[in-house]
Amino acid sequence: MEKATFAAGCFWGVEATFRALPGVVSTRVGYTGGKTENPSYKDVCTDATGHAEAVEVTYDPAKISYNDLLKVFWENHDPTQLNRQGPDWGTQYRSAIFYHSPEQQKAALASKEALEKAHRYSKPIVTQIVPAVDFFQAEDYHQQYLEKKGLASCHIRA
């Protein structure tokens, strides 16, 4: 099993999207990329922790590739919006790929470059591609939130 970590706005819809993919073994939502140890949701919402709402995906690379996960990431949010997705704004809603290996870094950079060369978006892609750091799991009520509420999605498709 391998891990991939993505931030693409509110983590509820992002998690639901990745959970539905064959080959994804598990997901968990949380906070990463900031400076505060063990932040709460309330802390992250202050926009002062530096953390992004993110989804950690555990997947079976024999069943789904990292490149396939990247494709889903790019297709399911607007990577040209700086520190926001739809009505949600703040650095916690930024677009970011947190890579876990040099191979993931290379694949993420190549996928971003390919989208830029293809002029897929009318504005520049602002997605950060940075090393994975400590991931702090969000409170239980955030885990599989949409499933618990009987909702299909809440994210913005690009």
Distance CA 101, CA 99 (A): 6
Tell me how far CA of residue 120 lies from CA of 46, 71, 112, 158, in angstroms.
33, 13, 10, 10
10 tagged catalytic = yes
Cβ atoms of 120 and 38 within 8 Å: the answer is no
Query: Between residues 10 and 52, which one has the greater pLDDT?
Result: 52
Q: What percent of the chain has pLDDT over 70?
A: 93
Q: Which of 7, 10, 72, 132 is catalytic?
A: 10
Task: Give me the residue spans of the domains in the chain.
Answer: 2-149
Cβ atoms of 108 and 77 within 8 Å: the answer is no
Distance CA 92, CA 72 (A): 20
Q: What is the pLDDT of residue 146?
A: 72
Dig out the tokens for 55 from the structure.
Answer: 């989804």
> Any alpha helices (H) in 46-98, and if so which ranges?
66-75
- Reported as a single tens digit per residue, the pLDDT across 109-136 is 999 999 999 998 999 999 999 999 999 9
pLDDT band at 36 (very low <50, low <70, confident <90, very high): very high
Q: Which CATH class is domain 2-149?
A: alpha beta
